[in-house]
Structure 1
């Protein structure tokens, strides 16, 4: 693996992000990428969207929102989406993206990052636990709310 790096989502990388593949069963836990990209249009001052590159190849995407004034505390510093191309899962790409997200949150003076996800056998829970998220709550829809304290 080359050295991984982050870059802002751009017109040059969005097509590759949209073309990333998932492992069988993962699609039920992930809304289309266009939903995440729309978040940057709706919240341009608070959205944080990055692609993970391995050399020149897009291998991952991470979308977060930092809004200390959000009315719900779990939305003040939240990881909205992370996906890694199926062929690149298990190589540390996701961990790299989360570590950079946590660094960004620290830079902004925040004390935690939350994530909200649906539990399930092929879902993201095992990954989120491996990188340090701890379940702390549940949404009204039964989704898990987990956090990493900084």
Structure 2
């Protein structure tokens, strides 16, 4: 791995972005990139989609959420964090996921955010160990029946 970087989605990298596919056993836990980009389109200002690039290769995709009304009720509970993380199947285990989380944390700090939120699906091939290993802690909340909410304090 050289020094990875985040790039905005452009016409030049769009096809590579939507081609990012995780391992088959992980598909239950992630949303395809094309769907994420459609959601980003209908949530401008909230969604922050980026490709993860190493050299000239797109190796993954992430989408952060920024200052979201967490309960979608007009209330005061607003959160920011990682909405999606897809690392290409043959690029996993190389540090790109860790890089992506650190890059989102840096962006959230830059925006003055003190807590970094993420949700993950439970299951044998889910990312729970990955997030807990990065310092996220379960906060006791669930989204739906099978998504855990995790939080990381940003310093």
Normalising by structure 1, what TM-score? 0.90
Residues 64, 79 of structure 1: 8 Å contact kept: yes
Matches within 5 A, 1:94-109: 94-109=97-112
Distance 1:8 1:94 in 2: 17
Structure 1 CA distance for aligned equivalents of residues 143 and 132 of structure 2: 21
Residues 65 and 75, structure 1, Cα contact 8 Å, conserved in 2: no
> Residues of 2 paired with 1:109 and 1:34: CA distance?
30
Q: Which residue of 1 aligns with 2:17?
A: 17
1:85 paired residue number: 88
The Cα offsets for residues 1-29 of structure 1, whole Å up to 9 and x where unpaired, read as 22211111222222112212322300111
Mapped to 2, the partners of 1:58 and 1:110 lie a distance apart of 28
Distance change (3 Å), C-alpha of 1:126 and 1:75? farther
Residue ranges of structure 1 left out of the alignment (5+ in a row) = none
Name 1:8's counterpart in structure 2.
Answer: 8
5 Å matches for 1:38-49? 38-49=38-49
Cα deviation for residue 36 of structure 1 reads: 1.2
Q: 1:111 aligned to 103, 109, 114, which one?
A: 114
Give, in whole Å, the separation in 2 of the partners of 1:74 and 1:125. 24
Which residue number in structure 2 is paired with residue 144 of structure 1?
148
CA drift of 1:71 comes to 4.8
What is the count of residue pairs matched by the alignment?
149
Gaps of 5+ in 2: none
Question: What is the Cα deviation at residue 126 of structure 1?
Answer: 1.4
CA distance in 2, matches of 1:60, 1:126: 19
Change (3 A) 1:140 1:98: closer
Q: Tell me the C-alpha RMSD between the 2 structures.
A: 1.7
Secondary structure class of the residue paired with 2:62: strand
Partner of 2:29: 29
Deviation at 1:137, TM superposition (A): 2.2
